[in-house]
Amino acid sequence: MAESQAADLNAPVVGMDYHMHVQYHEVLCPVMREFADALMDKRLIGHKCPQCGLIYSPPKGYCPICVVPTDKSHELELQQRGTVTNYTIVTPVQYHGQEETDRFAKASLQLDGGGTLSLQDLLEIPVDDVRIGLRVEAVWASDAERNVDEVTNRSWGIGESAIRGWQPTGEPDVPADELPTNVF
């Protein structure tokens, strides 16, 4: 719908606000539903490929590298402690709908015991101190606040509504050359 135009009632109308708004609903697919249900129980789950052994979290229901299906029998619970393997510092541009105003980091994590997560928020650490090798642990939203609103069928990240983010454990950094190089 149109928003208000220029205030000058005598000037020609030369532009038109056109607000395109699309809303749609979809049911979470079975593996994402299992993942969302586990998050509500403060558990982090993934599927381990029976062929190559890579762990996908959120689970996909298949290994895209080996092209083999995975199911509940390949499910395992991941540890909630890990290491930053890479990160991006985002400087928000104030476009329509941008809610962030300050710089923030999104990190890729290698979890202890296997499994990775991408696009995770880091808490309790200044953006400029974020580094590869940093040891972190999950900070869950409280029972009252925890939800899975941000989990979708196409989640790469899992949002911040269940796990608020990851905070430094205080352990010594892991040297970069000791970190795995896999994304998953």
Specify the stretch interacting with another protein by CB under 8 A; choose among 15-23, 69-77, 104-112, 118-126.
15-23
Cα separation of 184 and 181, whole Å?
A: 9
Judged by CB under 8 A, does residue 4 bind another protein? Answer: yes
User: Measured from the CB of residue 58, what is the shortest distance to another protein in angstroms?
Assistant: 13
Judged by CB under 8 A, does residue 153 bind another protein? Answer: yes
Residue 25 structure tokens? 């609903």
Residue 171 Cα distances to 12, 85, 113, 135, 168, angstroms = 65, 15, 17, 6, 8
Tell me the DSSP string of 38-98. Answer: HHHTT--EEEE-TTT--EESS--SEETTTTEE--GGGEEEPPSEEEEEEEEEE-----TT-
Judged by CB under 8 A, does residue 156 bind another protein? Answer: no
Cβ closer to another protein: 26 or 178? 26
Judged by CB under 8 A, does residue 19 bind another protein? Answer: yes
First and final CA of the chain: distance in angstroms?
43
User: Measured from the CB of residue 121, what is the shortest distance to another protein in angstroms?
Assistant: 16
Specify the stretch interacting with another protein by CB under 8 A; choose among 16-24, 79-87, 121-129, 170-178.
16-24
- Quick one: which of 80, 86, 147, 167 contacts another protein (CB under 8 A)? 147
Positions in the binding site for another protein (CB under 8 A): 1-2, 4-5, 9, 12-28, 32-33, 36-37, 96-97, 147-153, 159
